[in-house]
Amino acid sequence: MKQTAGRPLKVALLGYGVVGSQVIRLMREQAADLAARIGAPLELAGVAVRRPGRVRSVEVDPSLITTDAEALVTREDVDIVVEVIGGIEPARSLILAAMNSGKSVVTANKALLAEDGATIHAAARDNTVDLYFEAAVAGAIPLIRPMRESLAGDHVHRVLGIVNGTTNYILDKMDSSGASFSEALEEAQALGYAEADPTADVEGFDAAAKAAILAGIAFHSRVTAADVHREGITEITAADVAGAKEMGYVIKLLAICARSEDGRSFGVRVHPAMIPRTHPLAGVREAYNAVFVEAESAGRLMFYGAGAGGAPTASAVLGDIVAVARNRLAGTCGPEESTYADLTVHPMGETVTRYHVSLDVADKPGVLARVAEMFAKQDVSIQTVRQEGLGADAQLVLVTHRASDAALSATIEGLRELDIVRDVVSVMRVEGEDAS
């Protein structure tokens, strides 16, 4: 069925930053290998930039540079458009223009896919072109393809991932050195792991976009960033980290996509959580990413690697370019968006997990009885209680059995109103205990 094609496949690149430069470099350095693997050479048709005068780490023939991205993506000779600009606009308009002109698209744009994936996927389907986006989640780690294709015959129950390298670096530093959040953030910024404005990372926006994409694929349903419950790591203290460590846990920012017990809905959330040090995700250090998938038949799988960076992201982009190029030569397309299951995203209150709660309590008899009563009132069952410190400095540390987020929230509200509770020091979810 394959056409033998000697003619080069022309690639238009949108964006000439860290990732774009590496894509150009790899297309050049590995040209012979790529041609052999595809069955036809790749040719860079043009690079759309906003600021043409800027100095780049990888040079290209200046005649290829253009500021007219719209003209580039609709140019008749272009086969494949690679979008590494990021953000919603103009990326979305350019991708749509490319698809409407019959081009296949490779993108690393998690924000756009999480906000308006439906529009982009529909345009790909309507125009019978490819949309590949391996680089949008967890950088170099092959994850989208395995989840869309290798697990196509399986039933995914849960995805538990460390999908943001910046926050993993910060939490890992806090864990290994006892640093505070702001000290660890400063170090991450000095090393280039965190941006000057770290909001997108430390508040969990980046991870939430990736969680939306993963949940959509895992559960064959449409999910947007707005469906994701999101909490960042800015309020994690050195004391939280040390307390977790003492109990054999480590705090990670997790993206969790989990089916409800009846299988008819699922939840998507990003928040810091305590996981046992024996869990495979606990060993993910520095800025690495890893995604743990629990499927009905396959069991427990984990995918580990570099979640960001120019070269790793470019590797994922190149893999997609090869796939799209092969498909074009064969006159076919890869898998379309799969949303047939159309499951509901349940509200955060219905999420069921365990909780670790630290309370600063008055030094009086009967305190534990009154605290325990408040948990019982909401049907939240306590697994362990332990008193830390003595006298006026005493803290009560409780770990619950599995309870709904709504019940736990109501419990915490009730505790705050008790005169004997001076402060709710921390509330942290406990995850991954059934999978060591």
141 binds its own copies (CB under 8 A): yes
Annotate 17-30 with DSSP letters as a single string. Answer: SHHHHHHHHHHHHT
Segment near its own copies (CB under 8 A); pick from 22-30, 61-69, 162-170, 205-213: 22-30
CB 43 within 8 Å of CB 75: no
Q: Does residue number 8 form part of the binding site for its own copies (CB under 8 A)?
A: no
**Smallest distance from its own copies to CB 291, Å:** 11
Interface pick for its own copies out of 36, 88, 191, 226 (rule CB under 8 A): 36
Active-site pick, 10, 173, 210, 252: 210
| Identity of the amino acid at 232 | G
196 binds its own copies (CB under 8 A): no
17 binds its own copies (CB under 8 A): no
Q: How far apart are CB 374 and its own copies at their closest, in Å?
A: 40
Region binding its own copies by CB under 8 A among candidate stretches 28-36, 44-52, 182-190, 203-211: 28-36
**232 annotated among ligand-binding-site residues:** no
**Contact set for its own copies, span 309-328 (CB under 8 A):** 309, 311-312, 314-323, 326-327
Give the C-alpha distances (Å, rounded to integers) separating 223 from 101, 170, 217.
27, 28, 9
Q: Are 209 and 113 in contact (CB under 8 A)?
A: yes
Is 21 labeled as ligand-binding?
yes
Residue 90: cis peptide before it, omega within 30 degrees of 0: yes
The total of other beta-carbon atoms located within 10 Å of residue 226's CB is 11
- Regarding 117 and contact with its own copies (CB under 8 A), the answer is no
- Subset of 205-234 contacting its own copies (CB under 8 A): 220
Query: How far apart are the C-alpha atoms of 170 and 426, rounded to whole Å?
Result: 19
Burial environment of residue 304 by CB neighbours within 10 A (0 to 12, 13 to 18, 19 or more): middle
- Beta-carbon neighbour count of residue 113 at 10 Å? 25
3-state secondary structure of 363: coil
| Interaction of residue 299 with its own copies, rule CB under 8 A | yes
Q: Report whether 17 belongs to an annotated binding site.
A: yes
Is residue 15 part of an annotated ligand binding site?
Answer: yes
210 is known as an active-site residue: yes
Q: Is 168 in the site for its own copies (CB under 8 A)?
A: no
Based on the shown chain and the rule CB under 8 A, indicate whether residue 297 belongs to the binding site for its own copies. Answer: yes
Per-position DSSP letters for 40-107, written without gaps between them:
S-EEEEEEE-S-TTS--SS---GGGEES-HHHHHH-TT--EEEE---SSTTHHHHHHHHHHTT-EEEE
Counting every residue written for the chain, the total comes to 436
Least separation, in Å, of the C-beta of 341 and its own copies? 8
- Angle 165-177/238-246 helices, nearest 10 degrees? 70
Least distance in angstroms from the C-beta of 212 to its own copies: 20
Identify the residue whose tokens are 């960042």.
232
Contact status: 403 vs its own copies (CB under 8 A): no
Task: Closer to its own copies by CB, 26 or 95: give it.
Answer: 26
Residues lying near its own copies in the complex (CB under 8 A) are found at 1-2, 22, 26, 30, 33-34, 36-37, 128, 134, 140-142, 145-146, 149-155, 220, 280, 283, 290, 295-306, 309, 311-312, 314-323, 326-327, 330-333, 335, 338, 340-341
Question: Which residues does the annotation mark as catalytic?
Answer: 210
Binding-site members for NADP(+) are 14-21
